[in-house]
Chain A
Amino acid sequence: MTSAIYREASYPIRSDLDQATRNAWEFLGKPGNWWTGAERAAFVAEVRAARDCRLCADRVDAVSPYSVQGEHEIASALPGVAIEATHRLTTDAARLSEKAIRELNAAGLTDEAYVEIVSIVSTVIGIDSFCDALEIPLLRLPEVQAGEPSRYRPAAAVDDGAWVAMIPSEGAGQNEADLYSTLSVPSRFVPNVLRAMSLVPDAVRNLIELLSAFYVKDVGNLNACNSLDRRQIELVAARVSALNECFY
């Protein structure tokens, strides 16, 4: 299968991987809830800059990221607080804390804008890691689409134990009635990781599409697998999570 987006891949790429990537990449270039398309594309460049940022590398090696001061090696004119959030999420997410998020708030980054950055960074990291794994060139920056951010904040989002508000699994409300409906799990069992970015509902829709291509088609089905069996899938998943020291 020749991939339209992974043109230089020397392995056959499943059509659903190709389509999910194209949709996600296009989504990155569109205006979001809090950032313009141009800003969102700039975040993509910033994620890539973070991968080779000397300050980030020094912080990762330090006992505490707060013990290392300096300037990030940057690729955009995004606000400094947004660049800080992007670099931390890219290189040292496991050591983020509620304190760090409150510091970002104090520096002018709202929770909503931050969640959209989480969505962008995680989308880019996933797709770039896929390219790294197959040793194909990283995708070009997304095509920017004009327009203003929607500034939409879902009314149903509440404080539910995370560092930012989330939409409850059973209380998605009228505008977000579809949000968890494609998952074959009872509404009260929607896992927190799928609710995590619901302060920006389109981030969740984007994630679920990516999950069905990059993980398993039916996330709620414990027997779902692909050419790897479920044990192999979960071993790889758990290993990557452990390497990143991700507790969840």
Chain B
Amino acid sequence: MSSRGSDVDLAAITKGASGEVAGVAYGAELIAYADAVVARSPDVAETRNAVQKSLGDAGVVDAAAIIANFQRMVRIADGIGIPIDGPLDLLSADIRHELGINEFSSAEGRGKNGALRRLAAPVMRRVAARLMRSRFR
């Protein structure tokens, strides 16, 4: 994903992490923990301990809270069938394609695809980033 102007390994989102996640400290540990909790796996304790070693007790609790929050949020989004917010639909078109998100079960009818959008997306992100910086300065 670095070719898109990001130093974060976004592929880890859909493929998981077999090693360090570029751009995110302790990303591998956090992903392993999330995977174990979502799967209700017997590995939860081991993965939690790895997070605790890296990020301390507060990190464990905060990671658990984020996992819990998004277990909640996905059911709201998919239960109500909300469309992607307009600007984000364009800004994420290329990333969604590269990460295979458009193939998700819940993708049908929920976002616009197409080569032109994918080409435009990185340019629009740079424009949006400049606008956001000036808005939140």
Contact = CB atoms under 8 A, between A and B. Distances in A.
Interface in A75-122: 89-90, 93-98, 101, 115, 118-119, 121-122
B119 to A, nearest CB: 21
A49 interface: no
A231 B12 CA distance: 13
B70 A237 contact: yes
A130 B14 contact: no
Contacts of B59: 227-228
Contacts of A93: 74-75, 78-79, 106
A134 B70 contact: no
Contact of A96 (B12, B27, B35, B78): B78
Given A93-B75, A228-B59, A241 B80 contact: no
Interface in A192-248: 192-193, 195-197, 207, 210-211, 213-215, 222, 226-229, 231-233, 235-248
A149 interface: no
B24 A242 contact: no
B64 to A, nearest CB: 4
Which residue, A98, A210, A227, A241, has most C-beta atoms of chain B within 10 A?
A: A241
A240 B14 CA distance: 9
Contacts of B134: none
A100 B60 CA distance: 37
Contacts, number: 234
Interface string B14-49: 101000010111110011011101111000110010
Contacts of A215: 65-66, 69
The interface size bin for chain A is: 35 or more
A70 interface: no
Contacts of B79: 89, 93, 96, 118, 121-122, 196
B105 A134 contact: no
Contacts of B12: 235, 239
B77 A129 contact: no
B37 A248 contact: no
A171 interface: no
A226 B58 CA distance: 9
A240 B38 contact: yes
B13 interface: yes
Given A115-B80, A135-B45, A248-B110, A94 B24 contact: no
14 contacts: A17-B61, A94-B105, A126-B69, A129-B37, A192-B82, A192-B85, A227-B55, A227-B58, A235-B21, A236-B63, A243-B39, A246-B77, A246-B106, A247-B77
